[in-house]
């Protein structure tokens, strides 16, 4: 028969197993390898943070990429709605408008879903093949009415060129 008293006798006592950590071990501190590993991890994390934050303040690149996206979105909207869509510049703001044909002189309706505003540090310094502040107009088939080149410039004097091709492709050169 099972007896609890016999089982307790067979269990080892707490005194038979000495503590793994002694007070002397706790006072030794860190080894050189442990310190080097921690320093390496901190260095890697700091390097990643610097690389990640470096590009976040580049307004010129951000605005050039955003304008490229707006051009592509406008072309896509023209093809999906089978209407002519154009981007019109009004100061630092660029709006999308639609009508039946790119040749229409009146009747353009503003599309409030497609717009962008250049940052305070970036401006349009030069435009080629742009008439009456109309940057580009896409037909219902997605073809551009012209081949515009828009030059953005930041306060430091750096520039980025956005060229829109007749077939709808966009190239950004910095």
Q: Tell me: the pLDDT tens digits for 56-113? A: 458 899 999 999 999 999 999 999 999 999 999 988 999 999 999 999 999 999 999 9
Q: What angle do CA 93, 78, 161 make, to 5 degrees?
A: 45
- Measured distance between the N- and C-terminal CA atoms of the chain, rounded to whole angstroms: 89
Two tokens at 55? 């590009």
pLDDT over 80 at 114, yes or no: yes
Q: Cα–Cα distance between 73 and 77 in angstroms, integer? A: 6
> What pLDDT band is residue 19 in, cutting at 50, 70 and 90?
low
| DSSP conformation class of 131 | B
- Domain containing residue 117: CATH number: 3.55.40.10
- Look at residue 148 and tell me if it is in a domain: yes
Two tokens at 27? 């006072």
Q: Considering only 28-32, 116-120, 169-173, which range has the smallest mean pLDDT?
A: 28-32
Residues of 54-69 as b/e, b for ≥16 C-beta within 10 angstroms? eeeeebbbebbebbbe
Strands 149-154 and 134-138: unpaired
Mean pLDDT of all residues in the chain?
Answer: 84
**What is the tens place of the pLDDT at every residue in 143-174?**
998 899 999 999 889 999 999 999 888 999 98
Into how many domains does the chain fold?
1
CA-atom Rg of the chain in angstroms:
33
Show the domain range for 77.
Answer: 59-173
> 2 vs 123, which has greater pLDDT?
123
Kindly state the average pLDDT of the residues 23-49.
81
The pLDDT of residue 96 is: 95
The pLDDT of residue 131 is: 80
- Look at residue 155 and tell me if it is in a domain: yes
How many CA atoms does the CB half-sphere of 153 hold within 13 Å?
Answer: 8
Which pTM was predicted? 0.67
Three-state secondary structure call for residue 93: strand
- Look at residue 120 and tell me if it is in a domain: yes
- Look at residue 164 and tell me if it is in a domain: yes
> 174 vs 51, which has greater pLDDT?
174
- Look at residue 44 and tell me if it is in a domain: no
Query: Alpha helices of the chain — where are they, by DSSP H?
Result: 4-10, 23-26, 32-54, 59-81
- Look at residue 146 and tell me if it is in a domain: yes
């Amino acid at each position: 028969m099972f007896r609890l008293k016999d089982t307790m006798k067979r269990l080892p006592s707490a005194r038979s197993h000495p503590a793994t950590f002694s007070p002397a071990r706790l006072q030794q501190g860190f080894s050189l390898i442990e310190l080097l590993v921690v320093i390496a991890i901190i260095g890697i994390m700091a390097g990643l943070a610097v690389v990640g934050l470096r590009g976040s303040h580049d307004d010129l690149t951000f605005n050039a990429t955003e304008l490229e996206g707006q051009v592509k979105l406008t072309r896509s909207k023209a093809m999906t709605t089978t209407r002519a869509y154009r981007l019109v510049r009004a100061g630092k703001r660029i709006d999308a408008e639609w009508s039946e044909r790119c040749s229409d002189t009146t009747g353009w309706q503003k599309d409030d879903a497609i717009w962008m505003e250049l940052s305070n540090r970036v401006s349009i310094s030069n435009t080629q093949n742009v008439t009456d502040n109309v940057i580009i107009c896409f037909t219902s088939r997605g073809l551009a009415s012209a081949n515009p080149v828009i030059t953005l410039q930041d306060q430091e004097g750096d520039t980025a060129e956005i060229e829109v091709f007749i077939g709808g492709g966009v190239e950004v050169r910095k």
